[in-house]
């Protein structure tokens, strides 16, 4: 049976990332405007060499990076993850990768992954953005919604239907620069503080040189990307759960109620014990899923689904429990837990909702 204990070098690197996040990245995040792309933050991630770790890097490295950043600065974690998600599909096309990856790694170019539509979220094969044949390529017409980094990204990985009625087999992935004529959008005011928006395509021109991978094989590109990043969504959740646990334990040790520190109350101490146990279990599931992905194991899909399911649900529990232990002060605007309370909800939905993960796990049981 594999052991998922980290070696001394990995532990040292994680500590270094946490230090960078607290000392260099958090001030930049706090100076940014919620709901807008924070370009100085991205530039710092590039300068520190953290964005370069995305391409190619192992799944375990990605998980360690996202967990470490999330413990100290969720904005930095999310900015990094969105660069990876938006640009990773480009690795399918050497020419596109050579053109864009260096700019993404430096933080100069902002990338976005444009899959979701108003009527196609978890059922990604149902997308309707039309790629209609045109001289020299296609014209994209339709809408994408709830796209992170939209409408401020410099490059969008866009999934469009090139063959009507073909389901998942009729989808093509395109690299679409933001300055293409006919491409517009607007910001959406969402609970999460990171940028999310809507994109509108009015006969946006794309050509053969913009195709990522192969025509009508874009769904495979999307799933390959999501399968790689799914365990690391769990790592993001573990980082938030650990931050909530640390805050709750510190508060319980210092706050007095009913003549004793909160930690002496059994209701509080047992809650902390439950938070710690679930967080550690989630961490081990995430590391196991990353190792399965890196080794090409047959159970990768099941392991990744379990990791994302359990870690995101655990983070929701841990943050909520930490708020309860803190009381009203945790709900004040600007408090760490108020911030985490807004951040923690979305990961249970994006990149495959909790219900989708359960369906994947159940299907694997009977495969």
The more confident residue out of 200 and 55 is 200
Q: What's the pLDDT at 126?
A: 84
The active-site residue out of 72, 117, 291, 351 is: 351
CA distance 46 to 75: 15
Strand ranges (DSSP E) for 11-124?
A: 111-114
Q: What's the pLDDT at 2?
A: 42
What CATH fold (topology level) applies to the domain 220-365?
Butyryl-CoA Dehydrogenase, subunit A; domain 3 (1.20.140)
Q: What's the pLDDT at 1?
A: 31
Token output for 152: 């401020």
Predicted confidence band of residue 341 (pLDDT cuts 50, 70, 90): very high
- DSSP 8-state code for residue 153: -
In the predicted structure, residue 107 carries a pLDDT above the cut 50: yes
In the predicted structure, residue 3 carries a pLDDT above the cut 70: no
Query: What is the per-residue pLDDT across 255-298, written as a single tens digit (0 to 9) for each?
Result: 988 888 899 999 999 999 999 999 999 999 999 999 999 999 99
In the predicted structure, residue 130 carries a pLDDT above the cut 70: yes
If one looks up domain 111-216 in CATH, what number appears? 2.40.110.10
Query: What is the per-residue pLDDT across 172-225, written as a single tens digit (0 to 9) for each?
Result: 999 999 999 999 999 999 988 889 999 999 999 999 999 999 999 999 999 889
Query: What is the per-residue pLDDT across 136-164, written as a single tens digit (0 to 9) for each?
Result: 999 999 999 999 999 999 999 999 999 99
**Secondary structure class of 170 (helix, strand, coil):** helix
CA distance 285 to 277: 12
**What would the mean pLDDT of 64-76 be, rounded to a whole number?**
97
Enumerate the β-bridge partners of residue 205: 139
Domain borders along the chain are 8-106, 111-216, 220-365
In the numeric block, the tokens 């928006």 are attached to 197
Enumerate the β-bridge partners of residue 201: 142, 183
Residue 108 designated active-site:
no
Predicted confidence band of residue 351 (pLDDT cuts 50, 70, 90): confident
Query: What is the per-residue pLDDT across 22-53, written as a single tens digit (0 to 9) for each?
Result: 999 999 999 999 899 999 999 999 999 999 99
Supply the pTM of this predicted model: 0.93
What's the gap between Cα 239 and its chain centre? 12
| Radius of gyration of the chain, Cα coordinates, nearest whole angstrom | 21
Give 240's contacts (C-beta < 8 A, 6+ positions apart).
70, 71, 74, 315, 318, 319, 340, 343, 344
Predicted confidence band of residue 367 (pLDDT cuts 50, 70, 90): confident
71: buried, middle or exposed (CB in 10 Å: 19+, 13-18, 0-12)? buried
Classify domain 8-106 at the CATH superfamily level. Answer: Acyl-CoA dehydrogenase/oxidase, N-terminal domain (1.10.540.10)
């Amino acid at each position: 049976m594999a052991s998922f204990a980290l070696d001394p070098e990995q532990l040292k690197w994680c500590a270094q990332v946490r230090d960078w996040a607290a000392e260099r990245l958090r001030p930049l995040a706090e100076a940014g405007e919620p709901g807008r792309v924070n370009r100085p933050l991205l530039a710092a991630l590039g300068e520190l060499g953290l964005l370069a770790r995305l391409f190619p890097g192992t799944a375990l490295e990605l998980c360690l990076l996202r967990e470490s950043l999330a413990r100290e600065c969720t904005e930095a974690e999310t900015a990094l993850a969105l660069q990876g998600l938006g640009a990773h599909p480009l690795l399918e096309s050497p020419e596109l990768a050579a053109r864009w990856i260096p700019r993404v790694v430096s933080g100069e170019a902002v990338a976005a992954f444009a899959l979701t539509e108003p009527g196609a979220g978890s059922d990604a094969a149902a997308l309707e953005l039309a790629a209609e044949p045109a001289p020299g390529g296609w014209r994209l017409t339709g809408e994408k919604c709830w796209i992170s980094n939209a409408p401020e990204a410099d490059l969008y990985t866009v999934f469009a239907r090139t063959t009507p009625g073909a389901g998942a087999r009729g989808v093509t992935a395109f690299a679409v620069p933001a300055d293409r004529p006919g491409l517009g959008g607007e910001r959406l005011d969402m609970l999460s503080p990171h940028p999310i928006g809507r994109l509108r395509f009015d006969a946006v021109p794309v050509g053969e040189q913009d195709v990522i991978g192969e025509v009508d094989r874009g769904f495979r590109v999307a799933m390959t990307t999501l399968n790689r990043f799914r365990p690391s969504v769990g790592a993001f959740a573990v980082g938030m759960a650990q931050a909530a646990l640390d805050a709750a334990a510190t508060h319980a040790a210092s706050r007095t109620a009913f003549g004793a520190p909160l930690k002496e109350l059994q209701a509080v101490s047992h809650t902390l014990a439950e938070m710690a146990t679930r967080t550690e279990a989630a961490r081990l599931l995430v590391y196991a899923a990353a190792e399965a992905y890196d080794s090409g194991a047959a159970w990768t899909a099941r392991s990744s689904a379990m990791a994302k399911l359990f870690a995101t649900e655990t983070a929701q529990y841990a943050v909520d429990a930490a708020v309860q232990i803190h009381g009203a002060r945790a709900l004040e605007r600007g408090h760490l837990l108020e911030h985490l309370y807004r951040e923690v909800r979305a990961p249970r939905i994006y990149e495959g909702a909790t219900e989708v993960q359960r369906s994947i796990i159940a299907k694997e049981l009977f495969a």
